[in-house]
Amino acid sequence: LSRENQLRLAELLSLSNLKRWDFNILNVIECLNDTPRNKETDDFTTVTTDGTSAANPRDSNILVIVGWAIIASPESQRVMAISIGRQEEFETTLSESDGYNFGSTESGLSISYATLVYFLRAVEAEYISDNRYHNSIHASDVLQTLHSLIQMGRGGISEALKKIDEYSMLLSAVAHDIGHPGTNNLYQINAKTDLAIIYNDKSCLENMHAAKTFQLILNSG
């Protein structure tokens, strides 16, 4: 990324921005792809060598980056600050009480952030990029929305959540539509697809999402 986009990305993925209800995940995509977005259609286009425009690839590790920024906070925020030369600013604006601190021993989880990133990469690889809606961008959007809701509940309902509850919820958001083929359960049943046969016509997609997620979790350690 250019220096300009590095700074913009760090700002977009700051904790103050990530907790906003009006956060737009497409701004992150625009930054990562270094491609302007049509604000009316939310489409990304790029100009080819012959002067025509074409759809821009939307695969940009968005789920890995947004997932790491949120779930690995505040460590992720510290790493971003160091990478753009703003560590002193980070140390004066954030404390260890900010973010989730899932990697700390105090959390009771001691999550390895390297393993977390490995898991995020594995999950993103299972999302089908050709799926126009249930893709890794949608998963990133759901993750950020859940994060925003948790932050809104600080001092209130969120205080009833244990660290393991928060971690489980965030991982569920990451993987909730993993492997979605782009068709619904009714289609699976009527077409007698493999998913319908495997899950006996019962919540075919939901069972598949859960099964894939647990397979990846068991193989991530």
3-state secondary structure 154-199: CCCHHHHCCHHHHHHHHHHHHHCCCCCCCCCHHHHHHCCCHHHHHC
Cα(37)–Cα(19) distance, rounded to whole angstroms?
Answer: 23
Are 76 and 68 contacting, i.e. CB atoms less than 8 angstroms apart? yes
For the chain, the straight-line distance linking the first and the last C-alpha, in angstroms and rounded, comes to 31
Residues belonging to the active site? 134
d(CA 188, CA 219): 28
